[in-house]
Amino acid sequence: MADWQEIPGGVTAPKGYKAAGIAAGLKPSGAPDLALILSDVEAIAAGVFTTTQVRAACVDYCRQQLENKHNARAILCNAGQANAATGAQGWADAVESAQLLAQALQVPAESVLVASTGVIGQRIKMEQLRAGIPQLVAAASDNGSEQAAAAIVTTDLVTKAIALETTLDGRPVRIGGICKGSGMIHPNMATMLAFVTCDAAVSTHLWQQMLSRAADQSFNQITVDGDTSTNDTLLALANGQSRTPAITEMGTEAEKLEAMLTEVCIRLAKAIARDGEGATCLIEVQVTGAPDDASARQIARTIAGSSLVKSAIFGRDPNWGRIAAAAGRAGVPFDQTSLRIQLGDFLLMEHGQPLSFDRAAASAYLKQAAAGDYLKTDTVLIVVDLGDGQGKGNAWGCDLSYDYVKINAEYTT
C-alpha cells in the first residue's frame, strides 16, 4: 500500500505556494497564456532539461541560473510562443521576462525561472507580457493552481495536475505538480513543461538527484510521436514550509519523499501520454526479465514509441508481431526463445512461440479501451517478459490516429 494519499490543490497544495494564470493576449485565441508559481520563501530549486542542440532561450536561461544559484522564488511560463530558434533577441526577451516579474514581486531577478511553449521560431509577444505581469502577480492566490495549469497548455485537450501527501517525522508533507504536453512528445530529459512544488526541506544536491531519478522513471518513459521538443523543462521547488527536519542524505525519510516525488512525476507523465494529439487510448508497456532496469525501460519505450504498434492499436488489430519486432530492435540483447508477450488478459506468445488466441475478443479489448473513460479506463496494457533477468521498467504512449496528422499538418496554418 502506498505511503501517500491524493489530495486536491495541484501546485498550491504544499504549504507556502501561490499560483495564477491569466489571458495576457499572447495567444490569438484569447485563451489563458501566462502562468505564475510563487513560493512565499526562497526554495531549493532543481531542473532537468532537453538535451537537443536547438533549445529555447528559457532552457538555457534556467540552466544558467541553476548552475549559479540553486534557489528560486518564482516560475513564470508563457504559452503561445516557444521563443526557440529566436537568436539574441529571444535571449534578451527571456532575460527581460524574468526581470519584469522580479520587479513586480520585489525579489532578485536570479530568483525567477522562466519557461515558454508554443510555436518554434516565434518570439514572446513582449508588449502583451509587459502589460500582463502586474495582473498576473495580483491574481496569485493559494488556490490558483487550476488557473496556472490552464494557462500553460497549447494543443492539450485537458489540464494536468496532481498533489499527494505523506507524513515525515510525524508532520504532513505535500508534493504538487502541473504539466502540459500533447504533441512533440518523446522527451530525452524530462517533459514538455512540468512544474513541481514541495514543502519539505531538502538539501540542494539531494533534491536534484531525486528529480533526475524521478524523470528517468516517468517523463523519460513517455512518447507520443517520437519528436523531442526544443523547450522540454522540468522544474521543482522545495521550500521547507512543512517544518520537517531537513533531509540531507539518503535514508528512510529521503526514500519516502523520493517515492512520492516519482509518483507525482509518473502521474503527470501518464496524463501527457493519455492526452496525445489525436489519441483515443493510453498504452502502458510493462517489461520484466531484462538484464537491468535501464534495459527494461529502453525496450518498453521502444515498443510504446513504435509507429506500427501504435497504428495497430488504433486499428484495434492485436498484431503482436509488431510488439516482438519493436522489442527486438531496442538495442538490448535477450534470448528470443524466452520472449513472452501479453495484451491485456490475452497471452499471445510464450517461450518465443506464437499461441492461439481469440483474435476477435482481443480486438474487442482494444475497442473497449478506446471507448473507455478518458481519465480512468482507457488503457491498453502490453506486458513483455524477456526471461530470468531482474530488470523491470514501464513506458507509456498512445495510439496513432488520423487526427494526429491533421492536427500537425494544420498547426501553424
Domain holding 353: CATH number?
A: 3.10.20.340
User: β-strands 282-290, 379-385: how paired?
Assistant: parallel
**In terms of domains, do 329 and 254 share one?**
no
Query: What is the domain extent for residue 381?
Result: 282-409
pLDDT bin (cut points 50, 70, 90) of residue 183 is confident
Boundary (domain end) residue, out of 274, 291, 324: 274
Closest CA to 76 of 22, 113, 130, 117: 113
Contact 382, 341 (CB under 8 A): yes
Mean pLDDT over residues 287-293, rounded? 97
Whether 386 has a pLDDT exceeding 90, the answer reads: yes
Residues 234/194, Cβ–Cβ less than 8 Å: yes
Mean pLDDT score of the chain: 93
153-164 confidence digits (pLDDT tens): 988 889 999 999
Do 269 and 292 sit in the same domain of this protein?
no
H/E run at residue 131? helix 126-139
Tell me which residue of 85, 27, 97, 96 sits closest to 57, measured CA to CA: 85
CB 345 within 8 A of CB 365: yes
What was the pLDDT predicted at 408? 81
- Residue 193 vs residue 186, higher pLDDT: 193
Asked whether residue 185 carries a pLDDT value surpassing 90, the answer given is no
**b (16+ CB within 10 A) / e for 45-63:** bbbbbbebeebbbbbebbb
118-145 mean pLDDT: 97
Confidence band (pLDDT; 50, 70, 90) for 371? low
| Whether residue 119 sits in one domain with residue 85 | yes
Considering the candidates 191, 197, 244, 302, report the single residue annotated as catalytic: 191
pLDDT band at 412 (very low <50, low <70, confident <90, very high): low
Q: Is 202 in the same domain as 80?
A: yes
Domain boundary (274, 293, 321) is at 274
pLDDT-derived band at 223 (thresholds 50, 70, 90) equals: confident
Q: What is the pLDDT of residue 375?
A: 46
Q: How confident is the model at residue 374 (pLDDT cuts 50, 70, 90)?
A: very low
**Count of residues making up the chain:** 413
Q: 331 pLDDT exceeds 60?
A: yes
Q: Check whether residue 230 and residue 267 sit in a common domain.
A: yes
Average pLDDT over residues 11-32: 97
User: Same structural domain for residues 235 and 351?
Assistant: no
Give Cβ neighbours of residue 220 (< 8 Å, ≥ 6 apart). Answer: 187, 188, 189, 190, 297, 301
At 403, the pLDDT band (50, 70, 90 cuts) reads confident
The structural domain count of the chain equals 2
Q: How deeply is 218 buried, as exposed, middle or buried, from its count of CB atoms within 10 A (0-12, 13-18, 19+)?
A: buried
Write down the H helix ranges in 140-275: 145-151, 204-217, 252-274
The pLDDT of residue 45 is above 90:
yes
Lowest mean pLDDT among 85-89, 226-230, 384-388: 226-230
Position 228: which residue type? T
Claim to verify: residue 254 and residue 312 sit in the same structural domain: no
350: nearest Cα among 364, 336, 329:
336
| β-bridge pairing 160-168 and 379-385 | unpaired
- Given a contact cutoff of 8 angstroms between Cβ atoms, the answer to whether 347 and 386 are in contact is no
pLDDT digits (tens, 9 = 90+) for 171-182: 999 999 999 987
pLDDT of residue 81: 95
Question: Does 224 score more than 70 pLDDT?
Answer: yes
Question: Is 189 a residue whose pLDDT tops 70?
Answer: no
Instruction: Tell whether 222 and 312 lie within a shared domain.
Output: no
More confident residue, 370 or 398: 398
Domain C-terminal end among 247, 274, 301: 274
Mean pLDDT of the 103-108 span: 97
Q: What is the mean pLDDT of residues 364-386?
A: 80
- CATH number of residue 248's parent domain: 3.60.70.12
Confidence band of 364 (pLDDT split at 50, 70, 90): very high
Higher pLDDT, 413 or 216: 216
Q: Is 230 a catalytic residue?
A: no
> Are 319 and 185 found together in one domain?
no
Q: Are residues 188 and 286 in the same domain?
A: no
pLDDT at 363: 96
Write down the residue that cell numbers 495536475 correspond to. Answer: 161
When pLDDT is averaged across residues 288-314 and rounded to a whole number, the result is 96
The tens digit of pLDDT for each residue in 77-103 reads 999 999 999 999 999 999 999 999 999
Is the same domain home to 311 and 405? yes
- Is residue 215 within 8 A of residue 199, CB to CB? The reply is no
Would the pLDDT of 145 be above 50? yes
Q: Looking at the structure, do residues 258 and 339 belong to the same domain, yes or no?
A: no
Q: What are phi and psi of 342, to 5 degrees?
A: -130, 140
